[in-house]
């Protein structure tokens, strides 16, 4: 049994190892000069490969399809797979990492096992065409072709962070296999926002609650370290909200709550009390005891107040304007940070056209899919690597067991 796998990310490597362990002769075709470039950057170089909380609500896509896949290869099976490659784990706030806290450990473990099993890895081989010949599947890269293969597995990823390899080839390649590709859009990505203060806030980080609203209705909220950038907002809570913020047609805004532990009345009382105790202070001086310095001038301007005013000069309405912003400082979302900064792709090969028991194509015989190329994406927290490896294992297992037809 010969198997050709297009794409050497975690999904392709997991498929290659599983199929080779089952005795198949495997060739992995990778566009870049080495496999697993994206894997190396995951989790800030620490590789958050799974999560203790494996509730399927962390996935977006067709729920029945996702459930069927995890019935075949459960999250524990994925940990067992890594364990079988020699990787041990450590957990932080439920997030599972290699014990070394280095993504290179995960990639090395996969590369070593693939090498030990004799997987043929062809780097700098960008596949442009896929066709059937009498002997099986043939893949074409420029003037050269590789094949034939009895079985083909497509694991070319999506389009997020194209500098790391996956740059949307899923669209032409899946189409050659007569599959529908749902529109791709970036997620787990920073948000572009409209605000005159972003230039002066850029680089400022602080713990805050970020609330996503659309037309006044709250959609979701996340607490964590928010980062202001020249063009908008970033940081884990913003990345987590980005998928919903960027839903096509949605008018979204992010409200930053600087004092989430206080309600509006308590915020007002705090500022009023400071004005009473420190009437001689200018507004920046009065706020400097309670706020990150970088926020103070933008916040006073946003409240429509004058920087030279003293705390004692503020009337109740002005105190309300200032304290209101501590509770709710709103930034309209006007776009995303672009594919280069995105961690994940929403969209991909339509799940209706894939059999979730096997990851096999419902359109083409002897053809399988795995990983981010499929129209399923997960939350931040290890869910995307879990998906890539689980589907890779399933595709590799099915392809190596299938009768050739």
Ligand X SMILES: Cc1cc2nc3c(=O)[nH]c(=O)nc-3n(C[C@H](O)[C@H](O)[C@H](O)COP(=O)(O)OP(=O)(O)OC[C@H]3O[C@@H](n4cnc5c(N)ncnc54)[C@H](O)[C@@H]3O)c2cc1C
Which two tokens mark 143?
């003037």
Q: Which residues is 29 bridged to in the sheet? A: 6, 122
Q: Does 384 bind ligand X (CB under 6 A)?
A: yes
Closest residue by Cα to residue 24 from 2, 7, 43:
2
- Nearer to ligand X by Cβ, of 191 and 311: the residue is 191
- Residue from 61, 165, 232, 337 touching ligand X (CB under 6 A): that is 165
**How many chain residues bind ligand X (CB under 6 A)?**
39
Q: Does 75 bind ligand X (CB under 6 A)?
A: no
Segment interacting with ligand X, rule: CB under 6 A, options 29-37, 210-218, 253-261, 306-314: 29-37
Q: Does 198 bind ligand X (CB under 6 A)?
A: no
Angle in degrees, CA 126, 9, 122, rounded to 5: 40
Report the nearest approach of ligand X to the CB of residue 369 (Å).
10
- Nearer to ligand X by Cβ, of 106 and 295: the residue is 106
Report the nearest approach of ligand X to the CB of residue 213 (Å).
27
Q: Does 43 bind ligand X (CB under 6 A)?
A: yes
Report the nearest approach of ligand X to the CB of residue 73 (Å).
15
Q: Does 27 bind ligand X (CB under 6 A)?
A: no
| Cβ proximity of 204 and 226 under 8 Å | no
Q: Does 6 bind ligand X (CB under 6 A)?
A: yes
What spatial distance separates the first Cα and last Cα of the chain, rounded to whole Å?
Answer: 12
Q: Does 61 bind ligand X (CB under 6 A)?
A: no
Give a three-class secondary structure readout of the chain: CEEEEECCCHHHHHHHHHHHHCCCEEEEECCCCCCCHHHHHHHHHCCCCEECCCCHHHEECCHHHHHHHHHHCCHHHHHHHHHHCCCCEEEECCEEEECCCCHHHHHHHHHHHHHHCCCEEECCCCCCEEEEECCEEEEEECCEEEEEECEEEECCCCCCCHHHCCCCCHHHHHHHCCCCEEEEEEECCCEEECCCCHHHHCCCEEEEEEEEEECCEEEEEEEEEEEECCCEEECHHHHHHHHHHCCCCCCEEEEEECCCCCCHHHHHHHHHHHHHHCCCCEHHHHHHCCCCHHHHHHHHHHCCCCCCCEHHHCCHHHHHHHHHHHHCEEEEEEEECCHHHCCEEEEEECHHHEECCCCEECCCCCEEECHHHECCEECCCCHHHHHHHHHHHHHHHHHHHCCCC
Query: In Å, how far are 6, 27, 198 from 153, measured between CA atoms?
Result: 6, 10, 45
- Nearer to ligand X by Cβ, of 154 and 300: the residue is 154
- Residue from 26, 385, 395, 399 touching ligand X (CB under 6 A): that is 385
Q: Does 160 bind ligand X (CB under 6 A)?
A: yes
Q: Does 390 bind ligand X (CB under 6 A)?
A: no
- Residue from 2, 18, 27, 155 touching ligand X (CB under 6 A): that is 155
Report the nearest approach of ligand X to the CB of residue 51 (Å).
8
Report the nearest approach of ligand X to the CB of residue 311 (Å).
44
| Cβ proximity of 386 and 51 under 8 Å | yes
Report the nearest approach of ligand X to the CB of residue 310 (Å).
47
Q: Does 186 bind ligand X (CB under 6 A)?
A: no
Q: Does 9 bind ligand X (CB under 6 A)?
A: yes
Report the nearest approach of ligand X to the CB of residue 186 (Å).
10
- Residue from 303, 371, 376, 394 touching ligand X (CB under 6 A): that is 371
Report the nearest approach of ligand X to the CB of residue 340 (Å).
9
Segment interacting with ligand X, rule: CB under 6 A, options 32-40, 192-200, 257-265, 326-334: 32-40
User: Measured between alpha carbons, how far is 313 from 304 in angstroms, rounded to an integer?
Assistant: 14
- Nearer to ligand X by Cβ, of 160 and 314: the residue is 160
- Nearer to ligand X by Cβ, of 121 and 296: the residue is 121
- Nearer to ligand X by Cβ, of 80 and 163: the residue is 163
- Residue from 29, 66, 119, 201 touching ligand X (CB under 6 A): that is 29
- Nearer to ligand X by Cβ, of 78 and 160: the residue is 160
Q: Does 382 bind ligand X (CB under 6 A)?
A: yes
Write out the residues near ligand X by the rule CB under 6 A: 6-12, 29-32, 37-39, 41-43, 47-48, 126-127, 155-157, 160-161, 165-166, 169, 343-344, 371-373, 382-385, 388
């Amino acid at each position: 049994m010969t198997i050709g796998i297009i794409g050497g990310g975690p999904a392709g490597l997991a498929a290659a190892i599983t199929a080779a362990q089952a005795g198949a002769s495997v060739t992995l075709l990778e566009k870049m000069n080495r496999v697993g470039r994206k894997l190396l950057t995951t989790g800030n170089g620490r590789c958050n490969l799974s999560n203790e909380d494996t509730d399927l609500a962390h996935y977006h896509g067709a729920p029945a399809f996702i459930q069927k896949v995890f019935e075949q290869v459960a999250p524990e099976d994925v940990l067992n797979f890594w364990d079988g490659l020699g990787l041990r784990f450590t957990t932080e706030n439920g997030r599972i990492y290699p014990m070394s806290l280095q993504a290179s450990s995960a990639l090395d473990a996969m590369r070593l096992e693939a090498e030990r099993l004799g997987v043929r890895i062809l780097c700098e081989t960008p596949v442009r065409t896929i066709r059937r010949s009498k002997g099986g599947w043939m893949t074409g890269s420029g003037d050269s072709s590789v094949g034939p293969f009895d079985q083909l597995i497509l694991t070319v990823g999506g389009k997020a962070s194209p500098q790391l390899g996956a740059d949307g080839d899923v669209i032409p390649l899946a189409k050659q296999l007569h599959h529908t590709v749902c529109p791709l859009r970036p997620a787990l990505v920073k948000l572009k926002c409209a605000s005159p203060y972003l230039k002066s806030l850029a680089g400022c980080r602080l713990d805050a609650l970020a609330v996503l609203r659309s037309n006044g209705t709250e959609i979701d909220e996340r607490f964590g370290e928010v980062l202001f950038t020249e063009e908008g907002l970033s940081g884990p809570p913003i990345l987590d909200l980005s998928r919903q913020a960027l839903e096509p047609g949605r008018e979204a805004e992010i409200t930053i709550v600087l004092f989430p532990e206080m309600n509006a009345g308590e915020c007002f009382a705090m500022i009023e009390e400071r004005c009473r105790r420190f009437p001689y202070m200018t507004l920046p001086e009065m706020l400097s005891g309670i706020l990150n310095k970088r926020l103070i001038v933008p916040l006073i301007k946003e409240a429509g107040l004058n920087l030279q005013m003293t705390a004692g000069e503020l009337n109740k309405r002005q105190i309300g304007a200032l304290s209101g912003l501590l509770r709710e400082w709103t930034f309209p979302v006007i776009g995303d940070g672009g594919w280069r900064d995105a961690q994940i792709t929403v969209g991909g090969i339509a799940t209706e056209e894939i059999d979730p028991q096997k990851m096999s194509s419902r359109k083409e015989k002897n053809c399988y899919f795995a990983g981010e190329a499929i129209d399923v994406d997960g939350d931040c927290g290890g869910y995307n690597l879990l998906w890539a490896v689980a589907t890779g294992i399933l595709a590799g297992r099915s392809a190596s067991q299938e009768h050739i037809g």
